[in-house]
Chain A
Amino acid sequence: MNEIPPKEPLIETIIEPATQIDPNYNFAYLNEQTKKMIRRALLKAVAIPGYQVPFAGREMPMPYGWGTGGVQITASILTPDDVLKVIDQGADDTTNAVSIRKFFQRTAGIATTLNTAAATVIQTRHRIPEQKLQEGQILVYQVPIPEPLRFLEPRETETRKMHAFEDYGLMHVKLYEDISQHGHIATTYAYPVMVENHYVMDPSPIPKFDNPKMNNNPALQLFGAGREKRIYAIPPYTKVVSLDFEDHPFEIQAWDQPCEICGAEDSFLDEVIMDDQGTRMFVCSDSDYCQSRSEVQS
């Protein structure tokens, strides 16, 4: 599962080498039985793309909502040779990303990186990296609410049946409501997708800008919801289609201007307020992508 891409000299320099492992912890914090249980759930999830597999989620040393689901998956798939990258809203230097990266540096003693191409495992919250992923890489998503039908049909017994019977009229009711109230499909994140013509899936709160990247992606995509104790997956090269109407097709966000740091026109931009006079700038949310582009330019 963890095939490491051939290390090029350039990549060597951007990997922070393995650190001393804290001997008081088992490798990657979780005990081996737990990892085995999670791996079994992962195998099932990969075998049935988009299907939510229940698993016995453990308490992690962080609150629910901080990525306990993603951390448990990462802990279960890490090997000592892996190179880990953690991003939060696309950035490597945000609290959530830094703390999770440190957590695995300490408990697994593995190498880490900020570079998308150099990583073998990328744990993410709310974004898919702009740089194309490759075969052998694993993208682990942190998922708050795995059930796309939750707010329309609160009964779990009912939603599970709806998934099993492919009874998904309700999902379009939400999109219909968007159009009737806003004139267009106003869902901008956690935009529902259909995986391999069967299961409707919540892609976690990534912007819909990232939805097309999930389709036919060479990397393995794993989704972990810690509070709700569900795991689901998209195997490499799987068909992922965003739901829409014939006369209101799926569209991704677009901006009037490029990134003000690196000039990228093809990346997801964050709006940053600069002062209290209303000045603002638009910059790439993917910090690694933005930085590597600026370095090439300078």
Chain B
Amino acid sequence: MNQPLFSVTNLSKKFGKTIACDDISFDLWPGEILGIVGESGSGKTTLLRSIAGLIKPDQATISYQGKNNKLLNIDQMDEPKLRHLQRTEWAFVHQHPRDGLRMNVSAGANIGERLMANGWRHYDDIRKEAIKWLEAVEIDAKRIDDLPRTFSGGMQQRLQIARNLVTNPRLIFMDEPTGGLDVSVQARLLDLLRGLVRDLGLSAIIVTHDLAVARLLSNRLMVMKDGQVIEHGLTDQVLEDPQAAYSQLLVSSILQV
């Protein structure tokens, strides 16, 4: 526990003249869930995609404490090794399930893909594992041979989560996992995520614009605006006693029902 699991130093990313991420540094400790909040266009998703290796940042030092305590330099890593990491120890849950799922193959194949990519070659074993994970995310095992497009939005999102967790990753990146879902479905998904994260001892980085999601899931919170981190602290601390002007605005703009 004396080493951060994931550490980002001086990350910058520009798109032409637009600065998406400006000199961002943070650490993620094992078992911790870090929330990144901010308005749209503040660079949250770009930050997430950069650290997860989906896009290349202009400048950054990123290190990850792999299994067997091996310190890995993500920013210097070869692409094959990075991809291997992405499909074994890491997971990425996209905002839109369509980006994270293969829509033209069945739910079982979606869950099995990561297993097969990691060398599983026994059909029955793959199928058993797929059923186990469908049940874990509360999808009826009978739907295993159905295409994801016959699933509701909430089910697709849960399927995407199952597909990602099947290889028992240690670190999961989530980009607005509850975006676009209605409130009751959101609540169930959050419940599910909280349970899974706790049971599996995952660490996670969650990007969201929804402070309620951040409050429920995350231990620590980073507030972003215009590509910069303007506030950083324990979730309760940031939400109860926001220091930066923008954080105050953000917290006060939560709808009270």
Known A161-B79, A167-B83, A180-B106: A173·B113 in contact at CB below 8 Å: yes
A247/B122 in contact, CB under 8 A:
yes
B121/A170 in contact, CB under 8 A:
no
B83/A172 in contact, CB under 8 A:
no
Q: 1/0 per position for A164-180, CB-CB distance to B under 8 A?
A: 11011110111011011
Residues of B contacting A: mostly: helix
- Report the bound CA distance from A245 to B87 in whole Å: 21
A246 part of interface (Cβ distance < 8 Å)? yes
A167/B117 in contact, CB under 8 A:
yes
B114 part of interface (Cβ distance < 8 Å)? yes
A177/B106 in contact, CB under 8 A:
yes
Known A247-B122, A247-B124, A248-B123: A169·B114 in contact at CB below 8 Å: yes
Expressed in whole angstroms, the minimum distance between the Cβ of B82 and any Cβ of chain A is: 10
Between A and B, how many residue pairs show CB distances below 8 Å?
A: 59
Known A161-B79, A177-B109: A169·B117 in contact at CB below 8 Å: yes
B72 part of interface (Cβ distance < 8 Å)? no
B80 part of interface (Cβ distance < 8 Å)? yes
Expressed in whole angstroms, the minimum distance between the Cβ of A248 and any Cβ of chain B is: 5
Q: How many residues of chain A are within 8 Å of chain B by beta carbon?
A: 21
Q: 1/0 per position for B101-120, CB-CB distance to A under 8 A?
A: 01001101100111111100
B144 part of interface (Cβ distance < 8 Å)? yes
A165/B145 in contact, CB under 8 A:
no
In the complex, what residue of chain A is closest to B78 when comparing beta carbons? Answer: A165
Known A180-B106, A180-B108, A180-B109: A173·B123 in contact at CB below 8 Å: no
Q: Supply 12 further A-B pairs (C-beta < 8 A) apart from A167-B117, A173-B102, A247-B122.
A: A152-B105, A165-B83, A167-B80, A169-B115, A170-B117, A173-B112, A176-B108, A177-B105, A177-B109, A180-B106, A180-B108, A181-B106
Interface, chain B (partner A; CB < 8 A):
79-80, 83, 87, 102, 105-106, 108-109, 112-118, 121-124, 126-127, 144-145
Interface, chain A (partner B; CB < 8 A):
152, 161, 164-165, 167-170, 172-174, 176-177, 179-181, 244-248
